[in-house]
Amino acid sequence: MSDNRDILLTEVALRDGSHAIGHQYTVEQVTEVARALNDAGVPYIEVAHGDGLAGSSEQYGRSLTDEMKLIEAAVSVCDQTKVAVLLIPGIGTMNELKQAAELGAKMARIATHVTEADVSPQHINLAKELGMETVGFLMMSHMAPVDKLVEQAKLMESYGADTVYVVDSAGALLPNEVRERIRALRQSLTVNIGFHAHNNLSLAMANTLAAIEEGATRIDGSVRCLGAGAGNTQTEVLVAVLERMGLNSGVDLYKMMDLAENIVAPILTQPQEITRDSLVMGYAGVYSSFLLHSQRAAKQFNVDSRDILIELGKRKVVGGQEDMIIDVAAEIANKQNSLKV
């Protein structure tokens, strides 16, 4: 595998994409996708429940398959590609991180809300002790002013993170806002800068290119856009765009196209596109993984899912507060019923 890449890609369909299919990945699917990504030369692939290690629960959604079996399956077919895991402190624990490392995971992405980096030091420290490459993942980055983002990124750097990511969890950032954030981190940190986009406003590619132009060298993508909400930056398209720009990702474009068409497309329960609900998520700044939860709640209470999402945005609800979705849906239904009376 080439060591002189301009951009290092992390493929997130086997983690972020778990949201889109209700966490129903099988060992066979993960094995086939991971093998193909390894063959295409993708440097990192992230494997876990959509909400990270130990995410399988009534709150976040039950996994069909134990994520450790999925991690083990991916590692078993990757001789070039490194397997990464996501851990959100408070959901995942040190024990799951140790278990993932024992199974062969080589990168730990420690994710916190953009203003809560101070909950991550013990997990970042443990990852370093386990010999893992370590990433600080600042979620919902649109919710903090730039100076606060810089402050939190510096904390993650001080804890030992090798890379710090600006994470547009809601797909709410505009290209100029991405530029401002990446530029500020580039000027303030000495570690690698990464960017993770969502496509809820159809800006994932534009935002990713803005991040690269400002100095981000670690970029996330999801093959066939398989990710939460309207998905992430589409990996096979990004590989093509980087080639057109004269940037080296080291990834085989034809193999990525074939993987997207022949292996990942059949996994999708429906095409990844910008629907009215995913559009509202970007518009209102709502966590992308809330999509299926909000649709189920809307059906249960016979209300408009868009009303739920707009209200969640007004309340600045973040990942980990999925229980609020039911509460909001019930409140909207009660208001509607009282107006009818």
Cα-trace Rg, the chain: 19
Ligand-binding site membership of 289 (annotated): no
Question: For residues 191 and 161, what is the distance between their CA atoms, to the nearest angstrom?
Answer: 8
Here the tokens at position 287 are: 């966590």
Ligand-binding site membership of 196 (annotated): yes
Provide CB contacts within 8 A for 14, sequence distance 6+.
25, 30, 33, 34, 45, 46, 47, 48, 70, 74
Question: How is residue 160 annotated by DSSP?
Answer: T
Buried b (16+ CB within 10 A) or exposed e, 199-238: bbbebbbbbbbbbbebebbbbbbbbbbbbbbbbbbbbbbb
Question: For residues 318 and 117, what is the distance between their CA atoms, to the nearest angstrom?
Answer: 15
User: What is the number of alpha carbons within 13 Å of residue 158 lying toward its C-beta?
Assistant: 10
Which member of 19, 23, 123, 293 is catalytic? 19
The three-point CA angle 262-13-51 to 5° equals 150
Ligand-binding site membership of 198 (annotated): yes
Alpha helices in 192-322 (DSSP H): 204-213, 235-244, 253-259, 276-284, 291-301, 305-314
Ligand-binding site membership of 56 (annotated): no
Side chain identity at residue 269, one-letter code = T
Ligand-binding site membership of 76 (annotated): no
Residue 19 annotated among the catalytic residues of the structure: yes
The answer to whether the beta carbons of residues 58 and 90 sit under 8 Å apart is: no
Q: How many CB atoms lie within 10 A of CB 287?
A: 28
* Residues noted as catalytic: 19
Q: Which residues are annotated as a binding site for substrate?
A: 15-16, 169, 196, 287
Q: Which residues are annotated as a binding site for Mn(2+)?
A: 16, 196, 198
Q: Which residues are annotated as a binding site?
A: 15-16, 169, 196, 198, 287
